[in-house]
């Protein structure tokens, strides 16, 4: 099979992942609706994304939720450009591979995909959700234009997550939740030269460089609804992910992340209005910088009944926007957003596109 095709398939299967020395914050799961709202979702937590963001919200999801198939894909603008250029070269030719890498030196290359089928139900103020998961993440970069090096660091996570959410007895405005996840990770963290990429045994080298590990952790969450709603229903929330952090025994870690959030809701006839703000990584586990902008997420949503939604926000200082359609058993969500891959908000933008098709209820 042609090496170019093999390379693309590896990317699509998440066997060929990558990470950069740039300081993009780690994200285990990316929900399309949350990221369209600037990544602000901890206090919103009211749909199928809830199990990954704040299990306390499971006490207010629909009475029955079934996701039979729900593939999501995100790709960076730079990755699209490089993919187009790959179609015009011979991946077996060291010189052409070198020219390709030189052209994209300094570009941040991102690819993400997930499949998280699951089922959930809610009885009054008690909710349960269980999901299988297969999540692949690729973030890479080419360095050194004179002697190009392709810095590869990425992973595929396979496993499951299950959680419960409930209102605390005697504290009707306070919801709590806990989720447990078990993950098996296959990863690559290597640097490759054009000669290695063009060689006949590159695919074997990729196989040899893979490392595997597994681990388990808990997520915790609280949501408090203020006891007045004269203008808006107001929720305050906090969540902790990956407690304790998962060390995959191969140098890879899934770090503990604490997030605080606020959400405001209002219904006006057939329309639902929603605004939210999150402050992520309060304990600075993802980065030891002091940049407020990289941790701040702001979003809004206008929904017409349960059929159509418009979303917008600010993710790490960059604008986001998206739509949602819900027609019987088919749901479509799409968004355009950016991540900060530099040292501080506004330094180095990586623009991305994400979409998800869900079959279920």
Instruction: Write the CATH number for 275.
Output: 2.40.160
**Residue 29 CB-half CA count within 13 A:** 28
Average pLDDT over residues 137-150: 92
What letter does residue 57 receive in the DSSP assignment? G
Q: Any bridge partners for residue 158, and if so which?
A: 134, 184
> pLDDT tens, 19-38?
334 458 989 999 999 999 99
Pair 290, 304: CB distance under 8 Å = no
- CA angle (335 as vertex; 330, 337 as ends), nearest 5: 160
CA distance 212 to 250: 7
Number of domains in the chain: 1
CB atoms within 10 A of CB 39: 28
Q: Report the pLDDT value the prediction gives residue 249, as an integer from 0 to 100.
A: 77
Dihedral angle over CA of 165, 215, 70, 107, nearest 10: 120
Give the least confident one: 3-17, 214-228, 259-273: 3-17
CA distance 268 to 177: 30
Nearest Cα residue to 128 out of 162, 98, 156, 160: 162
Length of the chain: 361
Is the pLDDT at 134 greater than 90, yes or no? yes
> pLDDT tens, 40-95?
999 999 999 999 999 999 999 989 999 999 999 999 999 999 999 999 999 999 99
Residues of the chain with pLDDT > 70, as a percent, come to 93
Q: What is the mean pLDDT of the chain?
A: 91
Pair 232, 255: CB distance under 8 Å = no
Strands 64-69, 72-76: pairing is unpaired
> pLDDT tens, 216-236?
999 999 999 999 888 899 999
> pLDDT tens, 153-196?
899 999 999 999 999 988 889 999 999 999 999 999 999 999 99
Is the pLDDT at 246 greater than 90, yes or no? yes
What letter does residue 28 receive in the DSSP assignment? S
Q: Report the pLDDT value the prediction gives residue 130, as an integer from 0 to 100.
A: 98
Q: What is the span of the domain harbouring residue 241?
A: 3-360
The residues, any chain, with a CB within 8 Å of residue 112's CB and separated by 6 or more, are 30, 72, 73, 74, 75, 135, 136, 137, 138, 354
The whole model's pTM is what?
0.91
> pLDDT tens, 291-326?
999 999 999 999 999 899 999 999 999 999 999 999
Residue 18, φ and ψ in degrees, nearest 5: -155, 155
């Amino acid at each position: 099979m042609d090496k170019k095709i093999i390379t693309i398939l590896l990317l699509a299967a998440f066997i060929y992942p990558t990470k950069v020395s740039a300081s993009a914050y780690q994200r285990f799961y990316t929900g399309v609706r949350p990221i369209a709202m600037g990544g602000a979702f901890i206090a919103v937590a009211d749909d199928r994304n809830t199990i990954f963001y704040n299990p306390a919200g499971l006490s207010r999801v629909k009475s029955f939720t079934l996701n039979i198939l729900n593939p999501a894909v995100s790709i960076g603008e730079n990755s699209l450009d490089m993919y187009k250029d790959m179609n015009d070269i011979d991946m077996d030719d060291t010189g052409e591979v070198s020219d390709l890498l030189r052209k994209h030196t300094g570009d941040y290359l991102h690819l993400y995909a997930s499949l998280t089928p699951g089922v959930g139900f809610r009885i009054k103020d008690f909710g349960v959700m269980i999901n299988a998961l297969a999540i692949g993440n690729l973030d890479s970069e080419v360095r050194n234009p004179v002697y190009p090096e392709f810095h590869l660091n990425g992973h595929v996570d396979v496993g499951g997550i299950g959680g419960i959410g409930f209102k605390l007895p005697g504290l009707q405005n306070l919801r709590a939740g806990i989720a447990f996840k078990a993950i098996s990770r296959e990863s690559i963290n290597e640097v490759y030269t054009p000669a290695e990429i063009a060689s006949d045994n590159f695919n074997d080298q990729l196989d040899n460089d893979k490392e595997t590990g597994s681990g388990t952790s808990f997520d915790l969450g609280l949501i408090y609804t203020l006891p007045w709603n004269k203008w808006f229903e107001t929720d305050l929330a906090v969540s902790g992910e990956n407690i304790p952090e998962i060390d995959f025994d191969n140098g890879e870690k899934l770090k503990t992340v604490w997030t605080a959030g606020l959400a405001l809701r209002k219904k006006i006839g057939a329309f639902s209005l929603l605004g939210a703000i999150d402050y992520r990584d309060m304990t600075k586990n993802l980065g030891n910088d002091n940049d407020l902008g990289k941790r701040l997420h702001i979003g809004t949503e206008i929904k017409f009944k349960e059929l159509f939604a418009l979303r917008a926000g600010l993710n790490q200082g960059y604008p986001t926007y998206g739509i949602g359609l819900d027609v019987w058993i088919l749901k479509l969500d799409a968004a355009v957003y950016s991540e900060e891959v530099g040292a501080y908000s506004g330094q180095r933008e990586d623009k991305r596109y994400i979409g998800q098709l869900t079959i279920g209820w």
